[in-house]
Amino acid sequence: MSHQASGSITEIDPRLIPQRKLSSGASMPAIGLGTFGSDHVTPAQVAAAVRGAAAAGYRHFDCASVYGNEPEVGAALESVVASGVKREELFITSKLWNDKHGEDDVIASCRKSLADLRLSYLDLYLVHWPFPNFHPPGCDVSSRSADAKPYLHESYMKTWRQMERLVDMGLVRHIGTSNMTIPKLTLLLRDACIKPAVNEMELHPHFQQPELFRFVVDNGIAPVGYCPIGSPGRPDRDRTPEDTAPTEDPVVVEIARRHGIHPAVVCLKWAVQRGQTPIPFSVNNYRSNLAGILAPHLSDAEMQQIAAVDRNCRLIKGQVFLWKEGQSWEALWDVSGEITPP
Ligand SMILES: NC(=O)c1ccc[n+]([C@@H]2O[C@H](COP(=O)([O-])OP(=O)(O)OC[C@H]3O[C@@H](n4cnc5c(N)ncnc54)[C@H](OP(=O)(O)O)[C@@H]3O)[C@@H](O)[C@H]2O)c1
């Protein structure tokens, strides 16, 4: 299948990709390419995947300054636009890293990502984590910042005001959150002038987060799902013995066998049909992933079977953000239903 869109040759017509309507009325393609190389896929390999994925038909790319590859991804995006894809057909996300929450740092950080990505605006800029704690990229799971801080709503709102300024300045079309919880989002929705358009959160068949999912949808926030395949290539620091793999789940494996597709593609089809926007990372399988979500749908019965395999198995636990001795990672996720006190 090959298609001519705005002068560029693409393998799959991007107009066939389902779109999510954001609260602004803008559209976001319902699948994007993740760009976190998990410390072992090089920036050059990720950049090659961005070029290849755009040629395959992807128009949505999930970037972040902390992934350490925005300059290379930016060169790839520039070549995509030079090949004839219009900038306005692309949906590009970047994220503010945790050591840049300071009022003077937000706009400068966004400008740096824009320069690295060779863009004049971002479609979406996220606060990557709600904790203003520095830890070096690639550090061990036991690493703690000497001045680690809990979530302090007043501080988060100072950061958010700067995010809102980015929209006013025209540098960013939408702003959003990531790794948030219902109690934190409740306060943000109360106090924000510009509400988050998107919440990026871990979502896969073994971690479906039904309550948070429902909460964001009910509040007009589009859920974007990271680790949609269960992040089989994630760094060792993000692995614990309790973790399970959705691609090895017997129900997912059986549905994959029935459709003649990889279990990873079942995870993506489930995600798109459920209503979230998966952002699978891939340097080898991005074509089949895109083709897979356009292939015949999972049946209602299959969707229900997958809904029943949820194991509440969070893979990205965020241990490095803990701020007190003896805490366990659950403290980061407000599991009691209230923001964990400082
Ligand atoms: N906001 C946040 O805090 C946050 C946190 C984590 C991740 N993210 C974002 O979410 C993206 C995705 O998460 P992730 O990269 O951790 O995990 P993921 O997308 O669940 O898994 C990626 C892995 O799956 C493999 N894969 C992809 N398609 C496959 C297929 N069809 N068959 C077999 N294997 C397949 C990839 O290998 P190949 O390369 O060989 O295809 C890669 O090793 C990241 O890249 C990043 O952009 C955001």
Residue to probe by mutation, ligand 1, list 282, 286, 332, most atoms within 8 Å of CB = 282
Q: What is the pTM of this model?
A: 0.97
At which residue do the structure tokens 């993506």 appear? Answer: 268
- What pLDDT shows up at residue 193? 98
- What pLDDT shows up at residue 7? 45
- What pLDDT shows up at residue 107? 98
Count of other CB atoms within 10 angstroms of residue 211: 11
Atom from ligand 1 closest to the CA of residue 288: 31
- What pLDDT shows up at residue 292? 97
Distance 192 CA to ligand 1 centre (A): 31
Which residues lie across from 28 on neighbouring strands?
20
- What pLDDT shows up at residue 135? 76
Contact (CB, 8 A) for 125 and 163: yes
Distance 170 CA to ligand 1 centre (A): 30
- What pLDDT shows up at residue 255? 98
Distance 134 CA to ligand 1 centre (A): 24
152 contacts: CB under 8 Å, gap ≥ 6: 342
Ligand 1 contacts CB of residue 234 (under 6 A): yes
Contact (CB, 8 A) for 120 and 90: no
Length of the chain: 342
Contact (CB, 8 A) for 217 and 227: no
Which residues lie across from 223 on neighbouring strands?
199
Distance CA(115)–CA(97), nearest Å, equals: 16
Contact (CB, 8 A) for 224 and 271: no
Question: Could you state, in chain order, the average pLDDT of each consecutive group of 10 residues for the chain (342 residues)?
Answer: 53 96 98 95 98 98 97 98 98 97 97 98 98 81 82 98 98 98 98 98 98 98 98 92 97 98 98 98 98 96 98 96 92 96 92
HEC string of 56-115 equals HCCCEEECCHHHCCHHHHHHHHHHHHHCCCCHHHCEEEEEECHHHCCCCCHHHHHHHHHH
Atom from ligand 1 closest to the CA of residue 285: 41
- What pLDDT shows up at residue 148? 86
Distance CA(37)–CA(317), nearest Å, equals: 18
190 contacts: CB under 8 Å, gap ≥ 6: none
Contact (CB, 8 A) for 300 and 248: no
